[in-house]
Amino acid sequence: MISTIHTFDTIYSADSVEWCPYENYKEFFVCGTYQLEDTSKAAEDSQFNASCKRKGRIYLFQFNLENESLTEVFQIETNAILDMKWHPSENIIATADSKGFVILYKLENDQLRLLCELKLENESDVLALSLDWNRISQQNELIVSDSKGGFSLLQYSESQLKLMYHHPTSHSFEAWISIFDRHNPNIVYTGGDDTFLNCFDTRIDPERSTLKWKNKSHGAGVTSVLSPSHKENSLITGSYDEKLRFFDIRNPKCEVFDLALGGGIWRIKQHPSSANDLLTANMYHNFTVLKLNSNKFDLEASYFEHKSICYGADWCPSANIEVKYLATCSFYDHKLCVSKYETNKEID
C-alpha cells in the first residue's frame, strides 16, 4: 500500500520531481514547476505553444529517513521547468526549460548554485522538453529533446556546456522524451508526438542517416522511455494511448507485452536498488507501482492522492527493501506529496 506522509503546496503548477542519487546527498530532492502567466482556458489548451508566457520555480527539499520529516531548504525562481535530471555521480542537476535553455546547478550548502547554461537554438520559440545524462560514458554527455521534434547532444566540460551536435528532424512534432541506452553509450532513443519511437547511433554524423530503427506500434504520442539498468536489450515505453509497453530491441517492431494503466504515461522510474519495481505517473488517472516480471507487468499499488495531471514522480534512493519512499507531484492543484510504499502490507 502507498500512504501519504507529507503534502506541500508548490504555488506554481508542479511537473517534475527528482531525488538526488549522489551518495552524500540522498536525502535531498527537487521539485520543478511550470506556471502559465495567462491562466485562460485557451492558454491552458496550448500550454506548449512557445508564444505563451511562463515562469517557474525549483524547490529543494530534505527528507529525513529516520523520523520522516520534510524540510524545504531552498527555492529559486526560473523559467518554466519541463524536466530535470541529476548527474549520476555528482551533486549536479540539469534542467530543461520553456525558453530552450539547459541549465546546470550544483547542490552545496543546502542551496542550488548556478554553474552554466546553454540555449538550444537562437530562435525564441523552442522549448527544451526532456533531458538525460549518459550514465556509462565518462564524457559527461547530455541528450536534450525539444518542441520542434529534434534532439541535441551536449557535453559538460571545464565548467561549461558545449553543443556536440543537433539533430533537427527526429520527429515531425514535439519530441517529448529522449534518453541514453543504459548498456551502450552510443545509442539514444527518442519518443515523439508523431507516435514514433526512434533509435539512433550517435557515432554516425547527424548530417547523414543516423536512424537505426523506428517503431510505429504506439497508438498516440510516445511520452516516456526507460532503458532498464538490469536488462540489456530491453526498453519500456509510455504513451498518451495509456499503455505501458516492454520491448526487446533486437526485434523492436512490436512490443513483447503491455499493460493499460488508464492514463497517458508521462514518467517511468525504476527503483535504484530494487530494479524490478517501477513507478509511473499516469497523467489524468493516478500514480502506480508495478513489478516488472519476465513476461508481464504486475500492478502492485495505486496512488490517488492527486486530483490534477500526474506529471512528476521519483523514488527515494534508500536501500530499504520493505519500505520504499517516493515523491510525486501534480499540475493544476500544484501539489507535492511524499509517500511510502510498504510491500509487507496488503495492496490498497
The cell for 227 is 532503458
C-alpha distances in Å from residue 191, one per residue of 13, 55, 217, 317, 322 = 24, 25, 12, 27, 34
Residue pair 191/224 in contact by the 8 Å Cβ criterion:
yes
Helix ranges restricted to H, the chain: 41-45
Residue 179: what pLDDT?
Answer: 99
Residue 51: what pLDDT?
Answer: 59
- In tens, the pLDDT along 215-261 reads 999 999 999 999 999 999 999 999 999 999 999 999 999 999 999 99
Residue 347: what pLDDT?
Answer: 41
Phi, psi of 124 (to 5 degrees): -90, -5
Residue 320: what pLDDT?
Answer: 81
Angle at 307 between CA 301 and CA 310, to 5 degrees: 65
Residue 348: what pLDDT?
Answer: 40
Only one residue has cell 507531484, namely 329
Which pLDDT tens digits describe the chain residue by residue (348 residues)? 999 999 999 999 999 999 999 989 999 999 999 999 876 544 455 555 655 899 999 999 999 999 999 999 999 999 999 999 999 999 999 999 999 999 999 999 999 999 999 999 877 799 999 999 999 998 999 999 999 999 999 999 989 999 999 999 899 999 999 999 999 999 999 999 999 999 999 987 655 548 999 999 999 999 999 999 999 999 999 999 999 999 999 999 999 999 999 999 999 999 999 999 999 999 999 999 999 999 999 999 999 999 999 999 999 998 787 899 999 999 999 999 999 999 865 444
Length of the chain: 348
Other beta carbons less than 10 A from residue 208's beta carbon? 6
Nearest alpha carbon to residue 165 among 112, 108, 208, 136: 208
Residue 113: what pLDDT?
Answer: 98
The cell for 126 is 523552442
User: Which 8-state DSSP code applies to residue 13?
Assistant: P
Residue 39: what pLDDT?
Answer: 61
Angle at 251 between CA 230 and CA 214, to 5 degrees: 100
Domain 2-342: give its CATH architecture: 7 Propeller (2.130)
Residue 240: what pLDDT?
Answer: 99
Nearest alpha carbon to residue 314 among 73, 29, 59: 29
Residue pair 63/338 in contact by the 8 Å Cβ criterion:
yes
Instruction: Using the Cα atoms of residue 30, residue 31, residue 34 and residue 37 in order, give the sign of their dihedral.
Output: negative
Residue pair 107/93 in contact by the 8 Å Cβ criterion:
yes
